[in-house]
Structure 1
Amino acid sequence: MFDTAHAERTRVSIVEFLSELGISRVTVLCPGAAGLVRDPAHIGKIRGALGEALRESASPAVRAGLPCTFSPPCAYAELWFPEGEIRPGKPMPSPYVIEADTEGDGLRVTIKLVGRAGDYLGEVGDALIRGLRRGLSGKRWIRLEPEARTYSETIGLADPGLTAQVSLRFLTPLLVRNSENGPHIEPGAVLRGMIHRADGMARHCGIELDADFPALLEATKAVEGVWTDVDVRDWTRGAVRQRRLVPMEGALGRLHLRGDLAPFSPFIALAEELHTGSRVQFGQGRFRIEQGV
């Protein structure tokens, strides 16, 4: 696993980065709550509950909207307000994702922390329990009582070795901003989003990817893509502190890619684990590789 606490930024290939990437997880099971997965806003509500619980132990400076004065920084600052930019105007990605799945009649919630964000795993696990017990906001307050909690850590992701084609099934709505043919659908924009996200996650870990990014981004234009089973979703999420509803959107479906995929294979692997597109922190852009060669 990369030791980034005091080291200068290391330059490695995307495959090397994958092989050493540490991901820490806390998973809780909430009985009788499986029906929540039908609501596309449910992960945003879980995020809100977790954020409020983490904010309780945040530094006074962060609670006042200022940089954290704790050393090391509090979990709320590190996860909700990561410092730095990938490039001017492009902030660093949040070093976590939230996933929710059904398990029998229960809801299984998993928080993944990337790289050094894993140092906060215990605090995040405790805050998640408190937040779920306090409840998820909405038209009606939903309180959840987890009956089980587990922690785990993995080091390394495998490159699937994609070369010519792959099908990606999106499990949560995908949103791609600034695509050439509108949101959701332009395959090249999906690949470019994966490349940018990998760059940001590497920088969060103190790593600089040894890659010809202009050439990679240009090569996405030669990849053919077709969407099937598309289901565009629209919903709103509540911004509690802003006291307003925020419009949300995204597309479910299968994206079938064909072309020279070898340069993009490790980026697709990372995106499968850590999602892709916009608003990932609200659970969007989660997919599974269904088949590929």
Structure 2
Amino acid sequence: MAIEPKTLRCVRLRWWIRARKTVELPSYKGSTLRGALGMALKHSCCAARQLPCEACLLRFSCLYVYLFETPLLGESPQDLRYRNAPHPFVLQIAMDGPLRLDPGALWSFDMTIIGRAVQWTPYLVMAAHRMGELGVGKGRGTFDLERVVSLDAQGNPWEEVYADGMLRLPEKALPLTEGTPREASAGNGTFTLRFLTPVRLVSQGNPVRVPEFSVLLATLLRRLENLHRFHGEEGGAFAVPFPDLMEKARSVSIVENRTRWFDWERYSHRQGRKMRLGGLVGEVVYGGDVRHFEPYLSAGRWVNVGKGTSFGLGRYEVRDDTKGE
């Protein structure tokens, strides 16, 4: 089934690489890979190498800028609320300690590509090849890109996108926020969110240390709305009963907060400085019926929530405790 232009969809990809020279990546692998992939793409497609992107006449037609320095659409009141537009991709990589791949070792990482950016998947494959040649991480370890497959909603292999030198544009895609919330039960029940990578929420300009559900849901709904606005196909729309959902969200209470604040730093080559990007990790149990908030929480599992989503922050899982695991 071809990707339909009327709704926002995403493609989840699993990339398999085989080390050629020893590859060493830090715990924050998503940050390192995002930077290396961006530089590889820029090296491959930049037509004005001597100019900074913000001064380039091709800025608004450049693939690198669209994917990695996504510009705002204009100077509308909506745009002026944000410093940057959301990037149309998310790296899904665990922060589970440093990684060392000896020559010949195989490793995989996941990426979600969103909306119109799906058509540029072949260029990202090309950039990954280039990244393998240039090297990544400590000592600039080189690798070969062996295989790329798309994943279905359950995370199972779905389509082969790249293998044995053959590249195909993904034809199947997953809908984001298609459908309506299910009818909630009479009882409140509980549900659990497990923050797999630091979830960095901001409220009134300050980092959120206690994950109130209304703040998390408002952040997620704004993210989904902006992904639709910036990366949806023509004719797409994001119809969500925001006031009704937020009223229900404010009635959801924290039953047990097992989260903790996790601080980490990354170096931004583009900005030329270190950036501290702490966030919440762990689990939080909420009192309420999760069915009120489907399918938005489901979509958030694939596109993450909060700050730093493109290199993997804000990843979470949802469990309806009335159903168990």
Q: Which structure dedicates a bigger proportion of its chain to helix?
A: 1
Give the TM-score taking structure 1 as reference length: 0.78
Residue in structure 2 matched with residue 287 of structure 1 by the alignment: 316
Please say if residues 50 and 132 of structure 1, whose CA atoms lie closer than 8 Å, have aligned partners that are also in contact.
Answer: no
Residue in structure 2 matched with residue 265 of structure 1 by the alignment: 294
The yes-or-no answer on 1:200 pairing with 2:226 is: yes
**Structure 1 residue 74: deviation in Å?**
2.9
Residue in structure 2 matched with residue 84 of structure 1 by the alignment: 73
Using the alignment, how far apart are the partners of 1:227 and 1:82 within structure 2? 40
Using the alignment, how far apart are the partners of 2:127 and 2:115 within structure 1? 19
Kindly tell me: are residues 241 and 225 of structure 1, through their superposed partners in 2, closer, same or farther at Cα, counting changes over 3 Å?
A: same
Using the alignment, how far apart are the partners of 2:125 and 2:297 within structure 1? 28
- SS in structure 2 at match of 1:208: coil
- SS in structure 2 at match of 1:84: coil
**Structure 1 residue 222: deviation in Å?**
1.4
Please say if residues 230 and 252 of structure 1, whose CA atoms lie closer than 8 Å, have aligned partners that are also in contact.
Answer: yes
Using the alignment, how far apart are the partners of 2:256 and 2:24 within structure 1? 27
**Structure 1 residue 191: deviation in Å?**
1.2
- SS in structure 2 at match of 1:241: coil
Kindly tell me: are residues 252 and 107 of structure 1, through their superposed partners in 2, closer, same or farther at Cα, counting changes over 3 Å?
A: farther
RMSD over aligned CA atoms reads 3.3
Choose from 34, 39, 46 the match for 1:58.
Answer: 46
Aligned counterparts, 1:69-108, within 5 A: 69=58, 73-80=61-68, 81-84=70-73, 86-90=78-82, 91-100=84-93, 106-108=106-108
Structure whose alpha-carbon radius of gyration is higher: 2
**Structure 1 residue 252: deviation in Å?**
1.0
Q: Unpaired runs of 5+ in structure 1?
A: 5-19
Using the alignment, how far apart are the partners of 2:192 and 2:205 within structure 1? 21
- SS in structure 1 at match of 2:121: helix
The yes-or-no answer on 1:189 pairing with 2:215 is: yes
Choose from 189, 192, 210 the match for 1:167.
Answer: 192
Using the alignment, how far apart are the partners of 1:82 and 1:95 within structure 2? 11
- SS in structure 2 at match of 1:126: helix
Residue in structure 2 matched with residue 119 of structure 1 by the alignment: 119
Kindly tell me: are residues 257 and 68 of structure 1, through their superposed partners in 2, closer, same or farther at Cα, counting changes over 3 Å?
A: farther
Using the alignment, how far apart are the partners of 2:296 and 2:275 within structure 1? 30
Kindly tell me: are residues 209 and 147 of structure 1, through their superposed partners in 2, closer, same or farther at Cα, counting changes over 3 Å?
A: closer
The yes-or-no answer on 1:242 pairing with 2:234 is: no
Using the alignment, how far apart are the partners of 2:252 and 2:285 within structure 1? 10
**Structure 1 residue 227: deviation in Å?**
5.0
Residue in structure 2 matched with residue 42 of structure 1 by the alignment: 29
The letter for the 2-side match of 1:244 is R
Please say if residues 88 and 117 of structure 2, whose CA atoms lie closer than 8 Å, have aligned partners that are also in contact.
Answer: yes
Using the alignment, how far apart are the partners of 2:207 and 2:309 within structure 1? 18
Single out whichever of 51-60 and 256-265 deviates more from structure 2.
256-265
Percent identity between the two aligned chains: 22
Give the TM-score taking structure 2 as reference length: 0.71
**Structure 1 residue 59: deviation in Å?**
4.0
Please say if residues 193 and 277 of structure 1, whose CA atoms lie closer than 8 Å, have aligned partners that are also in contact.
Answer: yes
Using the alignment, how far apart are the partners of 2:267 and 2:12 within structure 1? 26
Choose from 149, 153, 173 the match for 1:154.
Answer: 173
- The count of residues paired between Structure 1 and Structure 2 equals 273
